[in-house]
Structure 1
Amino acid sequence: MKRSGPLYTLLGGLLLALFMLSLNATTGTGNTSYGGDAPGAASPGAASPAPTSAEPTSAKPTEDAPSAKPTDSPSKSPSKRPPGKSEYAGRTADDAAAISLSIRDDKAIAYYCNGRDAESWLKGDVEDDGSMRLTGKHGAKLEATLADNAVRGKVEIDKKPRDFTAARAKKPSGLYRATTEVRGAEIDGGWIVLPDGRQVGILKQDGKPQKAPRLDPETGTVPFDGGELTARPVVP
């Protein structure tokens, strides 16, 4: 019986150790005994969220595009009428009459003549685009355009319209006129000298038309009634 004391002590210590082991197993803080995730814990193998930038990046402000330079008002198209003085001479499309134009800058004078009994002087403005509208007595009118060193259009005399083309003329070709008084009679003559040298003209004596005598383009002299007249180039 004397040896039972140490035996009881050993058994008591063993029981105490088993009790402590059992207590640790049931109240431990580990989560593996439940087979689930603790609140707020990340699942094994789950991807971590991508870190957010501490401060947003901002693109470098671009410089303002230079403001468009105000453009000048649209410039006009180059003028089709030559500066200074120019001469044009030709015939109607039906060859019934001759026509000549004298142009200085934006002014024009035209002369229509059939060489016998019909003539007309017309005048007006020439636009920058070469177009022109000339008018004369008794409803005479001319509408044409200057381009490529020629005037092309339509002339209407005595209500009879005719197409015409007048090419650029060089001296002595062109348009001439003489106005004077001889022995109390009023003289008015017009001459068209064509590029090929031919002349078409009418001379009126007190309003009565007749074929004009031939003009000397070099001197401007015209024989008339035993004397001479002087015809000069027409200038608008």
Structure 2
Amino acid sequence: MKRSGPVVTLLAGLLLGLFMLSMNSTTGTKSASTAYAEESPEAATASPTPTRTTASSSPSPSRTPVPDADYAGRTTDDSASVAVTLRDGKAIAYFCDGRAKESWLKGDVEDDGTMKLTGKHGAELNGTLKEGKRISGTVDIDGGQYAFTADKAKKPSGLYRATATVRGAKVDGGWIVLPDGRQVGILTRDGESSPAPRIDPETGAVTIDGQQLTARPVTP
């Protein structure tokens, strides 16, 4: 009986060890995925889709048309006069040598002050408004090119025209009143051109073949 004591003690220890192993197998640590799910709730919840923002397009810059004004001047060779009237981004011009050569031209004015005006028989004016003070450019007419500069004009300087039927003839007159008071114009009667008589710059009154007409400022 005394020898069986250690054996019994050894068996008791083995049984205790087996019991502890059995307990660990049923109540052991949780799996890594389960623990991560419990410790990190966001792992089990789908991440929200990020909101896409669309940059608003920048507003287009507002257009600033060239100011309304009248311009009058001479060609570089001093052989003719040129007048240009600007209104609401449109332009009308008159080239006149005061004897027989003339042309009416019209077209648009770009926001940067450039313009390309056209008239009959291929006439063309290319000009640029500089600082709102003057227009410089060229006029192509009848195979010739004329450089010009037209300064800003104040009334009564500017561009005038009168059309009527006088004694059965169709009359068309154009006048440029320069800033120094000089007048250059052509009067056409049934297609025949001649120097135009002077107009009253204050009223536009002019007498043609005994009949009084009124030359009025020209606008596009």
TM-score interval, smaller chain: 0.7 to 0.9
% identical equivalent positions: 60
Q: How does 1:67-146 map to 2 (within 5 A)?
A: 70=56, 72-75=58-61, 78-79=64-65, 81-82=66-67, 85-146=68-129
- Compared CA separation, residues 72 and 93, structure 1 to 2 (3 A): same
In the aligned structure 2, how far is the partner of 1:73 from the partner of 1:154? 37
State whether residues 166 and 211 of structure 2, in contact with CA within 8 Å, keep that contact through their aligned partners in structure 1: no
1:73 Cα deviation after fit:
3.9
Post-superposition CA distance 1:110-142 (Å, at most 9, x none): 000000010000000001111100000001000
SS of the equivalent of 2:181 reads coil
- Whether 2:198 is the aligned partner of 1:214: answer yes
Larger radius of gyration: 1
Gaps of 5+ in 1: 1-66
Structure with more helix by fraction: 2
Post-superposition CA distance 1:159-191 (Å, at most 9, x none): 111111000000000000000001110000000
In the aligned structure 2, how far is the partner of 1:74 from the partner of 1:226? 58
- Whether 2:141 is the aligned partner of 1:157: answer yes
In the aligned structure 1, how far is the partner of 2:113 from the partner of 2:74? 20
Root-mean-square deviation over aligned CA pairs: 1.6
How many equivalent pairs are there?
Answer: 167
In the aligned structure 1, how far is the partner of 2:110 from the partner of 2:151? 18
State whether residues 171 and 188 of structure 2, in contact with CA within 8 Å, keep that contact through their aligned partners in structure 1: yes
1:227 Cα deviation after fit:
2.4
Moved over 6 A (4+): none
In the aligned structure 1, how far is the partner of 2:125 from the partner of 2:180? 24
- Normalising by structure 2, we get a TM-score of 0.72
- Compared CA separation, residues 104 and 77, structure 1 to 2 (3 A): closer
In the aligned structure 2, how far is the partner of 1:125 from the partner of 1:165? 19
1:196 Cα deviation after fit:
0.3
In the aligned structure 1, how far is the partner of 2:54 from the partner of 2:180? 57
Post-superposition CA distance 1:29-83 (Å, at most 9, x none): xxxxxxxxxxxxxxxxxxxxxxxxxxxxxxxxxxxxxx9975614525754x11x
Q: How does 1:17-56 map to 2 (within 5 A)?
A: none
Give the structure 2 partner of residue 196 of structure 1.
180
Gaps of 5+ in 2: 1-52
